[in-house]
């Protein structure tokens, strides 16, 4: 991928000295393509809809111009452009100027950290706050009492704060929706639509997506005002990601995975599974082969997830096994390999997965392990993303012509659903059988009767009288 355009630099945007010094401190040398196309439009106050791969520098593409607008030394305010932010008198209690919506906790923390690092030299200080579920809400409510210049939030927790009257939207100047293709699915979609109705009409809207699914079109029409549309497909010559597809019998996936991990010198590997239980089981199976791995998914405590992610970023963990949701916030510049142990349910998620490697101009490697029952689904993924990948086999792990039988799943016990009348009748009967204190004393005075355990008494908790 052509990540940089020759002769382009950050000075060409006429950023304030506060911003330029932060850029230099963070080691950014040249703006990426998405930054070159997006920053001028954001600085001019336009709405922007941008399609860009993960790892292309899109966080800085919206963070830099928004922070520059809040800088006291904003060049654009001095040359007559619309001053969107009052940097001397920023936000009132519980209010926000810039709202960034993201799908996961890890991504919320990561984006807020980028804002904090880029705004270190701005005075008065920029307050950046992240809020997300999975942790106690009270500390987040306390942090918002003084307001926040930049709030990075997951939709569910943001609505929790709204319900607690802990946040006000009347001072919002800009709304950023990152990974909008992910946020316009399932429960997220309803939450995003509810949030958009709470915001003031006069604001700047920025949306970033890895794909352009039909699901985002209605939100774009309702929220955005003649947006500048930036599609980075037009500026991409070739991907720096090698994609491989290996066919394997489903009952040999563990063996093949262990073989690949042992016989390749990847410094770090991110493995995707479709279910939380699969992540945990795979960790145990690899440990039996003396291969250390750590699982990260939404059932893990937030502290455990953050510790695992921090350690993985620092290189203390070689193998991280994660679900799609948990891996959204993983941003590692030199992650050499991603392995799809299970295929993603959505073709869009395949794009997000492979975007975890090959970041910042580095070469990446993606391997998808597909069994017989996954052939058709992977063909759908290929068609949707315009791919045509060669199937390959590894010697010693050749796939059978006929699929081996799948393991039988134990049938789920169906819960009996009772109507309100049935529940009331059941509760009434239980109350009738409760022994009153007087009756209980009377029973105690009688001679004890020998009893023998009923069949399955340990299950039903009853005793049968003789």
For 271-330, write each residue's pLDDT tens digit: 999 999 999 999 999 999 999 999 988 888 878 888 888 888 888 999 999 998 765 656
How far, in Å, CA of 247 to CA of 2, rounded? 32
Please check whether residue 177 lies inside any domain of the structure: yes
More confident residue, 1 or 205: 205
Beta-carbon contacts of residue 206 (< 8 Å; ≥ 6 apart): 42, 47, 48, 50, 62, 174, 175, 176, 177
pLDDT at 153 over 50: yes
Containing structural domain, residue 309: 241-392
Question: Quick check: 144 and 161 in contact, CB under 8 A?
Answer: yes
Please check whether residue 408 lies inside any domain of the structure: no
Beta-carbon contacts of residue 92 (< 8 Å; ≥ 6 apart): 147, 168, 171
Domain boundary among 327, 360, 392: 392
Task: Identify the band that residue 426 occupies on the pLDDT scale cut at 50, 70 and 90.
Answer: confident
Strands 204-209 and 269-272: unpaired
> What is the average pLDDT score of the chain?
82
> 224 and 246 share a domain?
no
| Average pLDDT score over residue span 344-362 | 80
> 185 and 276 share a domain?
no
Domain boundary among 326, 361, 392: 392
Please check whether residue 450 lies inside any domain of the structure: no
> 325 and 182 share a domain?
no
Block residue for tokens 């497909």 = 233
Domain boundary among 178, 204, 235: 235
Q: What percentage of the chain carries pLDDT values higher than 70?
A: 79
- Residue 360: the pLDDT is 60
> 196 and 288 share a domain?
no
Q: Which residues of 204-225 are buried (b: 16+ CB within 10 A; e: fewer)?
A: bbbbbbbbbbeebeebbeebbe
- CATH number, domain of 289, equals 3.40.50.300
φ/ψ bin of 67: left (φ > 0), alpha (ψ from -120 to 50), beta (otherwise)? alpha
> 26 and 57 share a domain?
yes
How far, in Å, CA of 225 to CA of 401, rounded? 55
Beta-carbon contacts of residue 335 (< 8 Å; ≥ 6 apart): 268, 270, 356, 357, 359, 364
How far, in Å, CA of 191 to CA of 135, rounded? 19
């Amino acid at each position: 991928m052509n990540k940089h355009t020759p002769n382009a630099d950050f000075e060409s945007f006429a950023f304030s000295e506060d911003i330029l010094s932060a850029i230099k401190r963070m080691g950014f040398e040249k703006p990426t393509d998405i930054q070159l196309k997006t920053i001028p439009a954001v600085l001019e106050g336009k709405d922007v809809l941008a399609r860009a791969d993960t790892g292309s520098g899109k966080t800085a593409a919206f963070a830099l111009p928004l922070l520059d607008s809040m800088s006291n030394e904003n060049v654009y305010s001095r040359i007559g452009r619309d001053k969107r932010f009052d940097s001397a008198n920023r936000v009132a209690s519980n209010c926000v100027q810039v709202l960034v919506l993201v799908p996961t906790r890890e991504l919320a923390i990561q984006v807020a950290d980028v804002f904090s690092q880029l705004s270190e030299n701005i005075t008065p200080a920029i307050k950046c706050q992240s809020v997300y579920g999975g942790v106690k809400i009270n500390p987040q409510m306390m942090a918002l009492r003084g307001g926040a210049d930049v709030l990075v939030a997951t939709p569910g927790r943001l609505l929790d704060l709204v319900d607690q009257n802990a946040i006000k939207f009347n001072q919002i100047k800009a709304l950023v929706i990152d990974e909008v293709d992910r946020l316009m699915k399932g429960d997220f979609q309803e939450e995003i639509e509810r949030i958009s109705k709470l915001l003031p009409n006069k604001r700047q809207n920025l949306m970033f997506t890895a794909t352009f699914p039909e699901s985002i079109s209605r939100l774009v029409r309702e929220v955005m005002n003649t947006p500048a549309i930036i599609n980075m497909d037009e500026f991409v010559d070739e991907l720096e990601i090698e994609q491989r597809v290996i066919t394997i019998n489903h009952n040999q996936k563990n063996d093949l995975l262990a073989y690949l991990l042992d016989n390749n010198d990847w410094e770090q590997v991110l493995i995707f599974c479709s279910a939380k239980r699969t992540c945990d089981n795979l960790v145990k199976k690899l440990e039996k082969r003396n291969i250390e791995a750590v699982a990260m998914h939404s059932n893990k405590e937030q502290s455990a997830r953050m510790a695992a992610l921090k350690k993985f970023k620092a290189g203390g963990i070689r193998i991280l096994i994660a679900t799609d949701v948990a891996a959204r916030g993983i941003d590692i510049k030199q992650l050499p390999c991603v392995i799809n142990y299970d295929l993603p349910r959505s073709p869009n998620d395949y794009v997000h997965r492979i975007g975890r490697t090959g970041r910042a101009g580095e070469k990446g490697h993606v391997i998808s392990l597909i069994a017989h029952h996954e052939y058709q689904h992977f063909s759908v993924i290929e068609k949707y993303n315009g791919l045509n990948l060669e199937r390959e086999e590894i010697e010693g792990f050749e796939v059978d012509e006929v699929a081996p039988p799948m393991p039988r799943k134990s049938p789920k016990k169906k819960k009996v659903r009772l109507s309100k009348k049935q529940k009331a009748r059941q509760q009434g009967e239980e109350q009738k059988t409760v022994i009153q204190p007087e009756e209980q004393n009377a029973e105690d005075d009688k001679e004890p009767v020998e009893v023998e355990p009923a069949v399955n008494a340990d299950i039903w908790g009853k005793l049968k009288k003789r």
